[in-house]
Amino acid sequence: MVEFGNLALVFVAGLLTALATGLGAVPFFLVEDISERWNVVLWGLASGIMVAASLFGLIREGLAVVDGGLVDAAIAIGPGVLVGVLLVIVAHELLADAEFDAKDYEQADFRKLVLILGILTVHSFPEGVAVGVSFAELGIDDPSLATVAFGGLTLPVLAVFMTVAISIHNVPEGVAISIPLRSMGVSEWRMAWWAVFSSLPQPLGAVIAYYFVTLAEQFLPFGFGFAAGAMVYLVATEFVPEALERGSDLPGGGRRELLGGIAAGVLVMVPLAFA
């Protein structure tokens, strides 16, 4: 049986990543606007962080827990990657006809709020899954398991890595959410609230993922692959196109800024992955 204390800890970790999204509104307390160049850089930074967290955190850990060679690892992790990608594709298809404008946040009735939450869940739920899966080895007594002491608790290094990775990633995502709200004259505090609101599915996804992978540890590599596949697919189909669209009027179409942001994101996360 999964301990309630562990579920609560995973929920708190997911909630911290959601709250980090609100930090994306902080620049608007200090400046009136953010240039398109910096928007592209921020989207690139988020992309680099997500890809590094997936490859050097989730996939690397999935390979470590598989007994056997690369073929066995591919058989264990590969289906999870495919299902993670498929989940995002299906979610997008189901919500393809659901359109909303940032100003709807101000006049949203209950049904509109549910619709908005459903749309934003497509983006934030897989990130919560990644956090939950990374806590799967919490409480396992294994001397070979890499752990770190934090606040009197012994946590898997992967869990700390993924929580930090998703939190850092959520800051520029919060900026991206705040930009259209700023254009509608929404106050800074309301921007911060809606940024956090957009990531509230993350603690729920974290708890659900943690619960299932700890009930069936043999599916742990599948869970790692699932979270990684969903996140990398989001980067490829959402983050990079969004960055290029925002940078379309910049010299070179913003590709230089995008690549610079991606490189910075990877450089930020690689030391954490190999700490």
Backbone torsions φ then ψ of 142, nearest 5 degrees: -140, 115
DSSP state for residue 172 in the 8-state scheme: H
pTM (predicted TM-score): 0.66
Measure CA 166 to chain center. 5
Helix (H, G, I), strand (E, B) or coil at 64: helix
Return the H-helix or E-strand segment holding 150.
strand 147-150
* Residue-range definition of the domain harbouring residue 198: 4-274
Q: How many domains does the chain contain in total? A: 1
> Quick check: 147 pLDDT over 70?
no
What is the pLDDT at residue 263? 93
Helix (H, G, I), strand (E, B) or coil at 153: strand
Q: What is the mean pLDDT of residues 33-53?
A: 81
Give pLDDT tens digits for 72-92: 888 888 998 998 888 778 876
